[in-house]
Amino acid sequence: EIVLTQSPGTLSLSPGERATLSCRASQSVSSSYLAWYQQKPGQAPRLLIYGASSRATGIPDRFSGSGSGTDFTLTISRLEPEDFAVYYCQQYGSSTRYTFGQGTKLEIK
Amino acid sequence: EVQLVESGGGLVKPGGSLRLSCAASGFTFSSYSMNWVRQAPGKGLEWVSSISSSSSYIYYADSVKGRFTISRDNAKNSLYLQMNSLRAEDTAVYYCARDLYVSSGHDYWGQGTLVTVSS
């Protein structure tokens, strides 16, 4: 079973700063099968990135995804107040189907 | 507009059963794989189960295998999760979610329904 480890657990930044969130897999993951989500309190998750680097419909271009193999990154180029939330990475595996990382909380500094 | 609306959550005793439903609208339901994802209070997301568009392929997380059954009725645009032998650790908000395309991630989610397993 592939385990996804996200770091840091909490990231404290100010609006306007750049955020870099990491997702590391215990085994190689196909880039086609790596997604990122944003979740705000009391809301369902929202798909941000799929296929490691493709933005979902309606997602601002300040969000970008990159990486391959075991190391993936979500970058938010200039933080807006509405970007402070919890972020999850997710991978698809043939035997385990979907696995989520434990999440990174992005909080206002 | 794509909409997913879950129902059927509630309070149930350990060992009990519950059936969740997810009503879909705004898209061709029969063309998409669907999923159940849960989130325990204050915790992260956990994928529970997936079903392909024609029900040919069904998958479960190890934590629910043998206790939960996913199904769908394409004529009724509905997804279901039959949960038996419920445990305290099954307490969570349960979301239904649509696959963008097979194995790509979930592009639409319902608002969730809370299942509480407690005596």
pLDDT in tens, A47-66: 999 999 999 999 999 999 99
Establish if A45 touches chain B: CB-CB under 8 angstroms.
Answer: yes
Establish if B42 touches chain A: CB-CB under 8 angstroms.
Answer: no
Distance separating alpha carbons of residues B51 and B106, to the nearest angstrom = 13
Establish if A72 touches chain B: CB-CB under 8 angstroms.
Answer: no
Q: Is the pLDDT of residue A96 over 80?
A: no
Establish if A105 touches chain B: CB-CB under 8 angstroms.
Answer: no
- pLDDT for A94: 66
Q: Is the pLDDT of residue A95 over 70?
A: no
Residue B102's pLDDT band, with cuts at 50, 70 and 90, is: confident
- pLDDT for B49: 96
Q: Which of B35, B47, B112 sits opposite A44 (nearest CB)?
A: B112
Which residue spans within chain A are E strands per DSSP?
Answer: 4-7, 10-13, 19-29, 34-39, 46-50, 54-55, 63-76, 86-93, 97-100, 104-108
Residue B24's pLDDT band, with cuts at 50, 70 and 90, is: very high
Other CB atoms closer than 10 Å to residue B88's CB: what's the count?
10
pLDDT in tens, B104-117: 899 999 999 999 99
B104·A32 Cβ contact <8 A? yes
The token duo for B9 is 């959550």
